[in-house]
């Protein structure tokens, strides 16, 4: 289906919004009236610019407080509408959105509403314009789509139809199945937005917290399916009011929006892009640093050995069990602090995963930037982290390990078996985009969003994983935008015996994060432990959590720059990340 | 009454919170458990640090999900409580907050709740500790203060009383009058927070949007009055969870908090600080700039004349009607861009106004920093703007104009009669603090907060004025914190004939903000005008607004650095600021 986006969904002046929408591949736009009013371009110039960019103007919006009012008031409304219809002709827009009235003067009188909308449609028809009537969720008398449809049906005018907005319909809990009872050619327009479920006044919810389909909790795909079954053939158009998108760069918001629509059409069964290929494990993480003086002693103390060196690049492979870390000193910059720049994911079908990523507008990495020579498929996530689709050691696939020459080393280790999860702090404006990327492009399932208390603000965190829990990525975001480019990252390593692993790491000189004694006094109050157990945790700086499924032990290394490591032991079916302990960890990292 | 603040209301590690509270003059603190757990200090060290700072520990909090549970569960809860009581003895805290249970295991059984709380109080008494039982607004079975009191009354134990929290009581719309029926010695603790009225889930509202009394919409003073009439003699303690305060610097948040309590005690009739003295008009605004090359042509074109020069400092007085602008080139810095640094307010009793400001912890300006020599009283607002209390030309008061020597000038002007308002963008973390300052220290009445759409985010704006509308200050704040130190400021000037004034200013070469033609097409749709009226607005770049009380015409100068001027004409009883036109103005200023 054709795709469209409301200019209000993007930041900046109108011309920047149009350019961003065109570059991201949208077919059309909805022109939000305030964007036009604030623009120095005439309607004719906007029409020309839009056409030059290959965009159609699918909707002009909104027209408010028109119907079911006293006759004198309605005469003034018709006069106002005529001005707007003339403007729309100059603009080349042929459909206008009319929202159900919120005016205190409006009567609760469907017959009057239908009669006045019919007269409005008569006037519109003279200008070859169509009226798409939408029930606002907070409309004074008309607040549900079926009610709006009954009025449109009664008005019975060829230039009058309904506009369906997924937010207004789903936020009120209306059943979208009734959409199928509306003739498709009377559904003049379909506006799409998602939103996280919130117990908030619906007007505020709508104006500040809408997001692109797939980023929230509403079943937008189900609604689209109903509209298509009803026979709707117009564009799928995104209308999203969001406080963060308003500040974000329009170009990347538009790409995020297109990706959302691609996933939505797939979910609604309208398209069949390359299917997602769920990763099965971590192949490696790559850490780049110009200066290895601080990172290699820590890796060594954590039990890693340098097992191989890349044949042609200054990249070392460090291994322990199935945990692999690439240390890349070819950073192309002067940053001495190590940072996590790439993640290799084991994938059953790397080529298919790459095709899917491409179909979802994920930036495919140019080969020359890749730290590896094997023809691996790789894409860049919104935060710049590179994801490689790997088939380590599997016959018939190029193995990235082939680029490496084994180095002499003494096998050892502290008992780390593999990577448990990677935690990546996201740029503030890209948190929802990142969650959608990890879900749609990488095929991971996102979990609920939680707040973690840092001494200087609340952090939001959301994990995504594969069903087996062998690939886990935790996305975090700070309390507010910051210009500090150093965003905390960490790599968590699995061990089956954390106490032994920590003892060995400490003996090898690993610097671990000190945990305040008060934490253990609190643990003693909250749980009962086997004799000596709590004392061991206290001695070694081990954190502990328990839920109905199992237990979790973990500890953290000291931080180098903004990178640190975690050692974890999962017991029973514990599936979390020790969120209960996050405030203590964050406070300790601040001191 | 004694004042106290919960450590959770301030940002940073525990030691910084304690220091900030002590410096702002608090008598005590509530220790929030997570702050203690995250601290590397032992309870004994915290006790010592607190005592060294002159603070008492008035409350340890919170203890959750204790009461009305199955016996096995309660036994575990008693064990947990005993750990905490031992900790409190080490800490030197003798009152603990117990919140009403939110546990799904809790029974709706007041008799069981009373019996278990009595047993908890028995245990507490062994440690010389008192239990303050609080009804959480979202408690599972106990969510109102009168319900909590009935349980405490039934338990009838000397170590058990209630904790009253203004948020939990007022957010649910409970009538605080019933507090007077509780014996004062059974009100063990009083926690205070305000909040803006929001249609939001009460738990989210409580955790993110509480603010200090006087910054929101709740009648906290009325509640305090009821508690005092009941005989409560404990501290007034602030417990505020706020996403912004969490990030702000603890020292200034603590001062803001103390100012809030001072105003609260005055409002509740508990103290009689120097009464507010409401200003009656603007005496002057001061603009500092190292380079006058851009500002003086603009002032001249706007009809101002340089009428006098300071006898001993590089400060010029520019006048037109009763509008006075001081141009100060002694900036002590290299900033060439002009910025508004001081505002003189006409005050009936400058000395009394200054005493009030001092009693409310407003930083009184050291004389040497003042740009004027006359012994004027002045204070610094949270954003650094200096406010002078003036009695221009009134006998018996020092007149700041006496410092100036008249300069030869040609009287003229474009018809400006006085200053209408000053608009100051606030640092992001200090918006609520600024609103409280303008209300409490300057004696202005705050109006409702509104959102204005800028192309790159929503701006929040809140005006404060005196009753006559002759002093108006509009406080604004951006969508998110920014490191850009240039915050937009503007000065609005009154004229009785804007059209003539604009013609004259343009003829004199004033650069005014261009307004898009589309704006006038929209005006034509929205309103009917006298013949030629709209064309005049279009020709001159005049913006227009109308409400039920009157009409408003205004226009803006070009911006120099981040400073600009506005010319306004108020007709009839129009009392606003043309918010309807703000998106157009903001978009035009972005281009």
> Quick one: closest CA in B to A79, which residue?
B525
Contacting residues of A for B587, CB less than 8 Å apart: 13, 38-39
Q: Mean of the pLDDT values across residues A314-331? A: 94
- CA B172 – CA B144 distance, rounded (Å): 8
Contacting residues of B for A241, CB less than 8 Å apart: none
Q: Indicate the DSSP class of residue B2.
A: -
| pLDDT classification of A369: cutoffs 50, 70, 90 | very low
pLDDT at A298 over 90: yes
Cβ neighbours of residue A308 under 8 Å, at least 6 residues apart? A316, A317, A319, A401, A404, A405, A406, A407
Q: What percent of chain A has pLDDT over 70?
A: 97
Nearest to A412 by CA among A511, A304, A299, A496: A304
Q: Mean of the pLDDT values across residues A122-140? A: 96
3-state secondary structure of B211: strand
Length of chain B: 591
pLDDT at B244 over 50: yes
Lowest mean pLDDT among A206-210, A549-553, B43-47, B421-425: A206-210
Q: Do residue A13 and residue B455 have CB atoms under 8 angstroms apart?
A: yes
- CA B228 – CA B180 distance, rounded (Å): 8
Q: Do residue B12 and residue A522 have CB atoms under 8 angstroms apart?
A: no
Q: Do residue A455 and residue B38 have CB atoms under 8 angstroms apart?
A: yes
Q: Do residue A591 and residue B13 have CB atoms under 8 angstroms apart?
A: yes
Bridge partners of A364, per DSSP, are A379
Lowest mean pLDDT among A361-365, A435-439, B561-565: A361-365
> Quick one: closest CA in A to B246, which residue?
A457
Q: Mean of the pLDDT values across residues A511-522? A: 94
Cβ proximity of A553 and A568 under 8 Å = yes
Of residues A204, A247, A521, nearest to B457 (C-beta): A247
In the stretch 63-102 of chain A, residues with CB closer than 8 A to chain B read: 79-80, 83-84, 87
pLDDT tens digits, residue range B482-494? Answer: 656 678 999 999 9
pLDDT for res A368 = 45
Q: Do residue A247 and residue B480 have CB atoms under 8 angstroms apart?
A: yes
Token digits of residue A507: 């003996």
Contacting residues of A for B43, CB less than 8 Å apart: 518
Q: Do residue A456 and residue B83 have CB atoms under 8 angstroms apart?
A: no
User: A472 versus B409: which is more confidently predicted?
Assistant: A472
Most confident among A580-589, B307-316, B565-574 (mean pLDDT): B565-574
Q: Quick check: A200 contacting B, CB < 8 Å?
A: yes
pLDDT at A581 over 50: yes
pLDDT at A169 over 80: yes
Q: What percent of chain B has pLDDT over 90?
A: 75
Q: Do residue A87 and residue B37 have CB atoms under 8 angstroms apart?
A: no
Lowest mean pLDDT among A13-27, A219-233, A328-342, B99-113: A328-342
Q: Mean of the pLDDT values across residues A505-531? A: 94
**Closest-CA distance of chain A to residue B238, Å:** 18
pLDDT at B539 over 70: yes
pLDDT tens digits, residue range B396-426? Answer: 777 788 889 999 988 889 999 999 999 999 9
Task: State the SS3 of B449-495.
Answer: EEEEEECCEEEEEEEEECCCCCCEEEEEECCCCCCCCCCCEEEEEEE
**Closest-CA distance of chain A to residue B81, Å:** 7
> Quick one: closest CA in A to B588, which residue?
A38
- CA B373 – CA B375 distance, rounded (Å): 6
Average pLDDT, chain A: 92
- Give the ipTM: 0.81
Q: Indicate the DSSP class of residue A369.
A: G
Cβ proximity of B159 and B125 under 8 Å = yes
Q: Mean of the pLDDT values across residues A496-502? A: 98
Q: Do residue A518 and residue B42 have CB atoms under 8 angstroms apart?
A: yes
Q: Do residue B522 and residue A480 have CB atoms under 8 angstroms apart?
A: no
pLDDT tens digits, residue range A10-24? Answer: 988 899 999 999 999
Of residues A83, A198, A483, nearest to B525 (C-beta): A83
Cβ proximity of A552 and A574 under 8 Å = yes
pLDDT for res A205 = 77
Of residues A201, A482, A587, nearest to B13 (C-beta): A587
pLDDT at A207 over 80: no
Q: Mean of the pLDDT values across residues A303-328? A: 94
pLDDT tens digits, residue range A88-117? Answer: 999 999 999 999 999 999 999 999 999 999
pLDDT at B368 over 60: no
Token digits of residue B433: 């603090």
Q: Quick check: B519 contacting A, CB < 8 Å?
A: yes
Cβ proximity of B203 and B226 under 8 Å = no
Q: Quick check: A525 contacting B, CB < 8 Å?
A: yes
User: A376 versus A372: which is more confidently predicted?
Assistant: A376
**Closest-CA distance of chain B to residue A591, Å:** 8
**Closest-CA distance of chain A to residue B502, Å:** 21
Q: Mean of the pLDDT values across residues B286-313? A: 94
Report DSSP letters for B37-104, one per residue: HT-SS-HHHHHHHHHHTT-EEEEEEEE-S-SS--HHHHHHHHHHHHHHHHHHHHHT--EEEEEPP--T
Q: Do residue A34 and residue B480 have CB atoms under 8 angstroms apart?
A: no
Q: Mean of the pLDDT values across residues B512-531? A: 94
pLDDT at B334 over 70: no
Q: Mean of the pLDDT values across residues A53-79? A: 95
CA distances (Å), origin A310, targets A54, A230, A304, A403, A520:
47, 58, 17, 6, 45
**Closest-CA distance of chain A to residue B483, Å:** 8
pLDDT for res A343 = 96
pLDDT at B468 over 70: yes
| pLDDT classification of A453: cutoffs 50, 70, 90 | confident
Contacting residues of B for A63, CB less than 8 Å apart: none
């Amino acid at each position: 289906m054709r795709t469209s986006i409301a200019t209000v969904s993007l930041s900046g002046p109108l011309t920047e919004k149009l350019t961003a929408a065109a570059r991201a591949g949208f077919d059309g736009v909805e022109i939000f009236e305030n964007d036009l009013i604030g623009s120095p371009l005439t309607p004719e110039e906007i029409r020309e610019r839009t056409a030059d960019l290959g965009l159609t103007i699918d909707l002009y919006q909104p027209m408010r407080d028109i119907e079911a009012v006293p006759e004198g008031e309605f005469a003034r409304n018709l006069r106002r509408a005529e001005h707007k219809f003339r403007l729309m002709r100059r603009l080349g827009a042929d459909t206008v959105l009319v929202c159900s009235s919120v005016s205190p003067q409006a009567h609760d009188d469907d017959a009057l509403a239908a009669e006045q909308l019919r007269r409005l449609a008569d006037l519109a028809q003279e200008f070859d314009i169509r009226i798409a009537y939408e029930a606002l969720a907070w409309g004074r008398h008309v607040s549900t789509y079926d009610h709006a449809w009954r009025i449109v049906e009664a008005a019975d005018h060829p230039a009058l139809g309904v506009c369906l907005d997924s937010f207004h319909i789903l936020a009120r809990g209306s059943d979208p199945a009734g959409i199928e009872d509306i003739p498709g050619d009377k559904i003049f327009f379909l506006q799409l937005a998602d939103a996280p479920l919130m117990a908030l006044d619906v007007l505020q919810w709508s104006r500040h917290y809408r997001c692109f389909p797939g980023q929230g909790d509403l079943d937008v795909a189900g609604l689209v399916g109903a509209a298509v079954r009803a026979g709707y053939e117009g564009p799928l158009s995104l209308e999203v009011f969001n406080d963060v998108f308003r500040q974000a760069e329009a170009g990347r918001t538009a790409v995020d929006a297109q990706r959302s629509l691609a996933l939505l059409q797939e979910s609604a069964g309208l398209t069949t892009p390359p299917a997602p290929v769920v990763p099965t494990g971590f192949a490696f993480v790559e850490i780049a640093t110009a200066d290895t003086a601080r990172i290699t002693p820590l890796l060594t103390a954590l039990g890693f050995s340098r097992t191989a060196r890349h044949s042609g690049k200054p990249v070392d492979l460090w291994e322990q069990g199935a945990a692999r870390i690439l240390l890349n000193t070819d950073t192309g910059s002067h940053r001495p602090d190590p940072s996590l720049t790439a993640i290799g994911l084991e994938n059953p079908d790397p080529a298919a995963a790459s095709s899917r990523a491409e179909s979802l507008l994920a930036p495919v990495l140019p080969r020359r930037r890749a730290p590896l020579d094997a023809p691996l498929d790789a894409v860049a996530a919104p935060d710049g982290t590179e994801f490689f689709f790997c088939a380590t050691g599997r016959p018939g696939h190029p193995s990235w390990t082939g680029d490496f020459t084994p180095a002499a080393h003494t096998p050892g280790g502290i008992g780390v078996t593999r990577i448990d999860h990677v935690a990546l702090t996201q740029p503030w404006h890209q948190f929802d985009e990142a969650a959608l990327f990890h879900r749609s492009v990488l095929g991971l399932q996102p979990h609920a969003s939680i707040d973690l208390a840092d001494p200087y603000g609340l952090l939001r965190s959301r994990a995504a994983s594969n069903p087996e829990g062998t690939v886990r990525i935790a996305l975090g975001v700070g309390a507010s935008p910051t210009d500090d480019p150093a965003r905390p990252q960490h790599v968590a390593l699995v061990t089956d015996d954390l106490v032994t692993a920590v003892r060995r790491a400490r003996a090898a000189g690993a610097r671990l994060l000190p945990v305040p004694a008060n934490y253990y006094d609190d643990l003693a109050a909250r749980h009962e432990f086997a004799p000596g157990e709590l004392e061991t945790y206290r001695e070694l700086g081990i954190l502990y959590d328990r839920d109905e499924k199992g237990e979790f032990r973990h500890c953290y290394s000291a931080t180098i720059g903004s990178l640190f490591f975690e050692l974890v032991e999962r017991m029973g079916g514990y599936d979390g990340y020790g969120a209960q302990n996050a405030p203590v960890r964050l406070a300790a990292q601040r001191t």
